[in-house]
Each structure stands twice: as C-alpha cells, then as structure tokens.
C-alpha cells in the first residue's frame, strides 16, 4: 500500500467570493517574479509555478485550514498549481480570471517598493517570441537557405503541441530569463 497522500479536490473562487475572505486567505501568486512585481493581490507572496513542487512543505502548513488561494494573470497557471498541490493532499483554491479579473472588478493591486517596471505577462512573451521566431525562419528561408523555414515549422508544431497538452515549453524557458526572475519574493 502506498503512503502517498490522497488527491484533494481543487476549487475555483470568483473575485466576488475571494474579496470578502481576502484577510483570512494565504494568497500565493504563481506568476514569474517580473509579473508579480507588475502588480499583485494585497498580501500575496510569490511562488512561481515552476517552484511549486519545491514549496510543498511550506505551503502545506499555510493551507492547513483550507485558506490557500492561488493566483496568476488569468487563472490557468493557478489551476495547474492547485492540481499539483492537490496531488500532495493540499487543498487550494484558484482565483477565476486571476489578477486581471481582480483589477477589472476595481480592486487594488499592490506593488513592491521602488520603481515599478513594466513586465509583459508570460502569455504575451510567448506570443512575441513565437512570432519573432516564425518571421526569422521565413526571412532566413527566403534570403539565405530554404532549410531555415524548418524553424517556422518547428515553432508551429510546438504551438500545436502546447495547445493539445496544455503545457508550454517556451514559457518554461522564458520564465528562467533574468527579467522574469528579478524581484522574486522569497517564501518560507
């Protein structure tokens, strides 16, 4: 018999459900540090999605009473984080619509002290990078050698794979760039 924890169901909270409970919730923003610095829910700590597995022990203690709320830009990454924690028996809710929905509802976002620097969201960074690589592959294919068009085909294949699997290798790579790491809030 395995000693692994029983998976815990995950929940999704709307902004209207989360807002009155915010003071009792332990809010974890799973975006990159750069995105976190561009505005986050009041009192949130930053534990990027790619570090969730490393933070299970710390988050287990914070989620003891079911007060763990995970947040990202749109709700997609926070749902993935909630599912990852549920596999470890940790109950967590995801904020539906993320910080975008929070701000659109007229609620305040906090910013770290110091100058605010604009950082593109991860989805925008992926679209920009994919577009540049496709254009580069096409231009090099026309101007240098047709084989460079394989770069564009590879990016297209990667985008299809990303959509089918709901994963994104390009986002993983981009999240490790220095401008997405700066200003990370440390947890634990």
Measure the CA–CA gap between 122 and 72, rounded to whole angstroms. 10
Domains of the chain: which residue ranges? 11-104, 122-181
What pLDDT was estimated at residue 132?
93
* pLDDT value of position 113: 74
Residues 54, 38, 76, CA angle at the centre, nearest 5°?
55
3-class secondary structure per residue, 127-138: HHHHHHHHHHHH
Q: CA of 69: how far to CAs of 5, 56, 104, in Å? A: 20, 14, 19
Residue whose C-alpha is closest to residue 66's, from 84, 44, 48, 82: 82
pLDDT of residue 96: 94
What's the pLDDT score for residue 3? 52
Sign of the dihedral defined by the CA atoms of residues 62, 100, 10, 22, in that order: positive
Helices (H) and strands (E) in the chain, counts: 9, 5
Query: Looking at residue 114, what is its pLDDT?
Result: 66
Give pLDDT, residue 176. 77
- pTM of the predicted protein model: 0.67
Which residues is 11 bridged to in the sheet? 93
Q: Which residue ranges of the chain lie beneath pLDDT 70? A: 1-10, 63-66, 114-119, 181-188
Q: Which CATH architecture has domain 11-104?
A: 3-Layer(aba) Sandwich (3.40)
pLDDT at 155: 93
């Amino acid at each position: 018999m395995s000693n692994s924890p029983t998976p815990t169901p995950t929940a999704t909270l709307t902004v209207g459900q989360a807002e009155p409970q915010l003071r009792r919730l332990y809010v974890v923003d799973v975006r990159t540090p750069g995105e976190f610095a561009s505005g986050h829910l009041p009192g949130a700590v930053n534990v990027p999605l790619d570090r969730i597995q490393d933070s299970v022990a710390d988050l287990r203690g914070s989620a003891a009473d079911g007060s763990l709320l995970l947040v990202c830009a749109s709700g997609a990454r926070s749902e993935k984080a909630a599912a990852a924690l549920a596999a470890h028996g940790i109950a967590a809710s995801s904020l539906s619509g993320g910080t975008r929905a929070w701000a659109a509802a007229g609620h305040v976002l906090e910013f770290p002290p110091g100058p605010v620097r604009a950082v593109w969201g991860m989805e925008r960074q992926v679209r920009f990078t994919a577009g540049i690589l496709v254009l580069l592959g096409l231009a090099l294919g026309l101007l240098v050698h047709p084989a460079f068009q394989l770069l564009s085909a590879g990016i297209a294949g990667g985008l299809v794979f990303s959509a089918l699997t709901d994963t994104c290798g390009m986002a993983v790579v981009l999240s490790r760039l220095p401008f997405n790491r700066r200003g990370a809030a440390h947890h634990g």
